[in-house]
């Protein structure tokens, strides 16, 4: 299996990537939702370009460093849903705004003040969306009235433009998020600040994005391009749709029921996302990846009728595809059983 590829390696199936991208774009088109994919999952310029080519309105980056890489690669419309703070980052943000159509979020007057001090040109204002905590418990203003207050602060700054609302809803709580956003939209509209964009996201709930289409105008899925064990558990797709797999080698069979592979937490990460085990071994559905150290994965084969031998290669669907992407300088692009090429992960490790 992929004999020329040294393990551990990340394989990306281009046929499945295209299928996953097209499926989401078709859904967004059918429901008149703008699609703005999150590139954190793949971090590859070629896939970002393809997402836009087939209909995405632009891309989403979580870090300034990722956005800079994507701008270098020719992406022209970038949303950075993050509170950008501090002189160094604000200067980088300003430089970035000079070369792409840029939008950001803020959830506090402190963030808005920094943006307002940096962006002062009323002729080319920076688009700022208010981040809303609709139940996730992460960033975001806590109530619709707070969204209105912050929108007013943004609108009052000459170099800023209030562009709308943004949320990342808690998984399975898209309805509550929609109600929250609808209330905020009503308040804002009443105050003369109707939100042009209401942006939501999350692959787990993407096939229900249209349920909120009365208020949500834009959707930001990330993991949908690859899918993973968690998304399969959430019913977003099937195991056969998972475009990213980890290729690993059995390096030891110390007991009848134990296999050790050369993929540990430095490959699969410790992310469990609440599930048991650290990934699914294709072809050995009864195998359980019970533990990881950095360079070893421990597999319990007790329930397996057939068991892999030392030297056998296994393909593993990881729990969480995005974090695996960030661990590899290069990924191997394949179609079915054929290697197409090896690609540099352009925005890997852009931490700031």
Q: How many residues bind a second copy (CB under 8 A)?
A: 58
Rounded-to-integer distance, Cα 172 and Cα 162, Å: 28
Stretch that binds a second copy, among 16-24, 198-206, 228-236, 261-269 (CB under 8 A): 261-269
- Residue 315, classed as helix, strand or coil, is strand
Which of 197, 30, 39, 192 lies closest to 130 in space, CA to CA? 197
The residue among 1 and 303 lying less far from a second copy, judged by its C-beta, is 1
The tokens describing 130, both together, are: 């208010």
Rounded-to-integer distance, Cα 344 and Cα 47, Å: 12
Per CB under 8 A, 221 contacts a second copy = no
Which 129-188 residues touch a second copy, going by CB under 8 A? 133, 137-142
Stretch that binds a second copy, among 13-21, 200-208, 281-289, 327-335 (CB under 8 A): 327-335
The tokens describing 119, both together, are: 């962006």
State in angstroms the smallest separation of the CB of 22 from a second copy.
26
The residue among 27 and 308 lying less far from a second copy, judged by its C-beta, is 308
The tokens describing 272, both together, are: 């469990």
- Candidates 8, 125, 159, 202: give the one binding a second copy (CB under 8 A): 8
State in angstroms the smallest separation of the CB of 88 from a second copy.
5
Strand partners, 299: 259, 289
The residue among 27 and 180 lying less far from a second copy, judged by its C-beta, is 180
Mark residues 87-126: x for contact with a second copy by CB under 8 A, - for none: -xx-----------------xx-xx---------------
Count CB neighbours of 194 within 10 A: 13
Q: Kindly report the backbone phi and psi dihedral angles of residue 22, in degrees, each rounded to the nearest multiple of 5, phi listed first.
A: -65, -40
Distances in whole angstroms, Cα of residue 139 to Cα of each of 102, 133, 136, 224 = 20, 6, 8, 23
Which 47-76 residues touch a second copy, going by CB under 8 A? 62-63
- Candidates 178, 260, 299, 321: give the one binding a second copy (CB under 8 A): 260
Per CB under 8 A, 203 contacts a second copy = no
Phi-psi region of 9 (alpha: psi -120 to 50; beta: other; left: phi over 0): beta
CB 8 within 8 A of CB 31: no
CB 233 within 8 A of CB 280: no
- Residue 215, classed as helix, strand or coil, is coil
Mark residues 226-255: x for contact with a second copy by CB under 8 A, - for none: -----------------------x-xxxxx
Count CB neighbours of 184 within 10 A: 26
Quote the strand ranges of the chain, DSSP E.
9-13, 34-35, 59-60, 77-80, 101-106, 126-132, 160-167, 197-201, 218-220, 244-255, 258-261, 280-281, 288-292, 297-300, 313-317, 330-335, 338-344
State in angstroms the smallest separation of the CB of 116 from a second copy.
15
CB 96 within 8 A of CB 64: yes
State in angstroms the smallest separation of the CB of 7 from a second copy.
6
Per CB under 8 A, 9 contacts a second copy = yes
State in angstroms the smallest separation of the CB of 28 from a second copy.
23
- Candidates 23, 49, 265, 343: give the one binding a second copy (CB under 8 A): 265
What residues make contact with a second copy under the rule CB under 8 A?
6-9, 40, 62-63, 82-83, 85-86, 88-89, 107-108, 110-111, 133, 137-142, 249, 251-255, 258, 260, 262, 265-267, 269-272, 291, 293-296, 298, 309-311, 322-323, 326-329, 349, 351-352
């Amino acid at each position: 299996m992929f004999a020329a590829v040294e393990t551990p390696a990340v394989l990306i199936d281009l046929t499945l990537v295209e299928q996953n991208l097209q499926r989401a774009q078709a859904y967004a088109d059918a429901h008149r939702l703008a699609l703005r994919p999150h590139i954190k999952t793949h971090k590859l310029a070629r896939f970002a370009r393809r997402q836009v080519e087939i209909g995405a309105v632009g891309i989403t980056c979580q870090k300034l460093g990722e956005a800079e890489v994507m701008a270098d690669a020719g992406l022209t419309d970038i949303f950075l849903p993050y509170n950008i703070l501090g002189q160094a980052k604000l200067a980088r943000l300003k430089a970035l705004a000079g070369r792409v159509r840029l939008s950001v979020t803020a959830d506090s007057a402190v963030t808005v003040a920094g943006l307002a001090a940096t962006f002062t040109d009323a002729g080319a204002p920076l688009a700022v969306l208010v981040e809303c905590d609709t139940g996730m418990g992460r960033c975001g203003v806590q109530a619709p009235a707070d969204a209105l207050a912050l929108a007013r602060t943004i609108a009052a700054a000459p170099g800023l433009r209030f562009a709308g609302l943004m949320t990342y809803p808690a998984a399975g709580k898209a309805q509550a998020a929609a109600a929250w956003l609808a209330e905020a939209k009503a308040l804002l509209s009443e105050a003369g600040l109707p939100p042009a964009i209401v942006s939501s996201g999350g692959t787990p709930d993407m096939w229900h994005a249209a349920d909120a289409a009365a208020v949500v105008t834009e959707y930001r899925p990330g993991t949908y391009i690859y899918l993973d064990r968690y998304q399969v558990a959430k019913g977003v797709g099937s195991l056969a749709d998972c475009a990213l797999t980890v290729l690993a080698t059995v390096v030891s069979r110390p007991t009848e029921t134990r296999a050790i592979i050369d993929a540990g937490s430095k490959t699969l990460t410790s992310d469990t996302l609440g599930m048991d085990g650290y990934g699914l071994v294709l072809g050995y559905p009864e195998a359980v990846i019970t533990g990881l150290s950095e360079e070893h994965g421990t597999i319990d084969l007790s329930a397996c009728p057939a068991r892999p031998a030392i030297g056998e290669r296994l393909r593993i669907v990881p729990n969480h595809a995005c974090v695996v992407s960030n661990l590899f300088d290069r990924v191997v692009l394949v179609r079915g059983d054929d290697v197409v090429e090896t690609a540099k992960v352009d925005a890997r490790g852009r931490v700031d």
